[in-house]
Amino acid sequence: MLTAAGTPADQLAIAPSATRSSGAVALVVRSAALAVAALLVLVLLLLATGHDAGAALAALGRGAFGSWYAVTSATLVRAVPLALAGLAVALAFRAGILNVGAEGQLLMGAATGAALAALMGTAPAPVVLVAILVVGAAAGGAWAAIAAYLRQRFGVLEVISTIMLNFLAQYLVGWLVRGPLQEPTRINPQSASLPDALHLPVLIGGTRLHVGVLLAVALALGVWWWLKETAGGFRLRAVGLNAAAAASAGRVRVGRTVMAAFIASGALAGLAGAVEYTGVTYALYDNFSPGYGFTAIAVALLARLHPLGVLATAVLFGALQAGANAMQRDAGVPNVVVSVVEATLILLVLAAERWQSRAAARAESAT
């Protein structure tokens, strides 16, 4: 009943860090610490469940980094959609938008890509390929725009609306691959496979690593630079930090900024779907995404919403998932163990954030 003074109630628990840590060094240290923590948690889990930790870790290492092929075709290939969707989540969260709909936006990107491939059959291949990527991103943005509109117009919480839109997208894909987009033989619930000419070029011969990885790196650098150096990026961060102050002190049009950030976030996730479709799966089917859009939330949070950090954590999660499959195959350890590790990491990071901000609050009240 006592009125709480001072602290703004609507602060996100996950405060962006780009302005407080001193750039690249801190980021590397953080990533290393995270990798070590992940390893420790994994070892503890393996010991607790009575597995041969040595053998399991060896299998995990082989699966993720054991060979050139493992690094490029298992780890990095998985890291690409995680990085793109992770950027999507990071961008939204930095604007104070809790977009947990990257999964749905990713699926819409892929589905639209598949539809476009079917519709533009005779057009020149490079045109179609670029169109798939562009329209895929646009579709993700449009999917996010629904939630953005609902938030702006009716105050619908985006956490709810984006989760619901995830289900919609999932069932829409299920219907598409059994209906309009089903492959010609009408046997399997999937789309016709993409002709070779429409595949994203492979970057390194003999591997599955496609040029999407360059796209992810370029976009991470681009988002990082844009947030840091441009007026638009600054507005987005200001709105995320304190929308009321941005509106009053900065005369920022908060509604516009939120709308644009939400749509840009959806576009990044949609692009992740289109890249995965043209670079890896070459077809649309049920369970097209093994939860990339959800893991992307973890990727973004672990990176403390830093675009370059997202690249690092995407590789970490890509490696964990690639290694998990090898671990299951070679050491008989269920691959869900890795999901437990991922979840534990997030909890650790959030707890550390909380602890840090409390320490900051204590320091503040002491002055």
Applying CB under 8 A, which residues contact another protein?
1-3, 6-8, 11, 15-16, 19-20, 229-231, 233-235, 237-238, 241-242, 244-253, 360, 363-364, 367
Q: Which of 27, 51, 14 is nearest to 335 (CA)?
A: 51
Distance between CA atoms of residues 267 and 109, nearest Å: 8
Using the minimum distance from each CB to another protein, give the nearer residue, 36 or 361: 361
Task: CB nearer to another protein: give 59 or 92.
Answer: 92
Task: Write out the DSSP string of 295-326.
Answer: HHHHHHHHTTT-HHHHHHHHHHHHHHHHHHHH
By beta-carbon proximity to another protein, the closer residue of 1 and 25 is: 1
Residue 333 DSSP SS3: coil
CB 256 to another protein: min, Å: 10
- DSSP string covering 69-107: HIIIIIIIHHHHHHHHHHHHHHHHHHTT-----HHHHHH
Q: Who contacts 80 (Cβ-Cβ below 8 Å, separation ≥6)?
A: 210, 212, 213, 215, 216, 272, 275, 276, 279, 314, 318
From the CA atom positions of the chain, what is the Rg in Å? 21
* Residue 359, Cβ density class (10 Å: 0-12 exposed, 13-18 middle, ≥19 buried): exposed
Least distance (Å) between residue 89 CB and another protein:
19
**Other Cβ atoms within 10 Å of 12 Cβ, number:** 15
Q: How far is the CB of 12 from another protein (least distance, A)?
A: 9
Q: Which is nearer to another protein, 144 or 238 (CB)?
A: 238
Supply the minimum distance, in Å, between the C-beta of residue 1 and another protein.
Answer: 5
Least CB distance to another protein at residue 249 (A): 5
DSSP 25-43: HHHHHHHHHHHHHHHHHHH
**Contacting residues for 295 by C-beta, under 8 A, at least 6 apart:** 82, 85, 317, 321, 342
Q: How far is the CB of 303 from another protein (least distance, A)?
A: 17
What is the closest distance, in whole angstroms, from the C-beta atom of residue 252 to another protein in the complex? 4
For residue 313, which amino acid is it? T
Q: Which is nearer to another protein, 78 or 237 (CB)?
A: 237
Residues 56/287, Cβ–Cβ less than 8 Å: no
User: In terms of CB distance, is 65 or 234 closer to another protein?
Assistant: 234
CB of 362 to another protein, least distance (A): 12
In 10 A of CB 26, how many CB atoms? 15
Nearer to another protein, 96 or 323 (CB): 96
Phi, psi of 18 (to 5 degrees): -55, -30
Nearer to another protein, 74 or 261 (CB): 261
By beta-carbon proximity to another protein, the closer residue of 287 and 367 is 367
Closest approach, Cβ 182 to another protein, in A, equals: 45
8 Å CB contact between 297 and 265: no
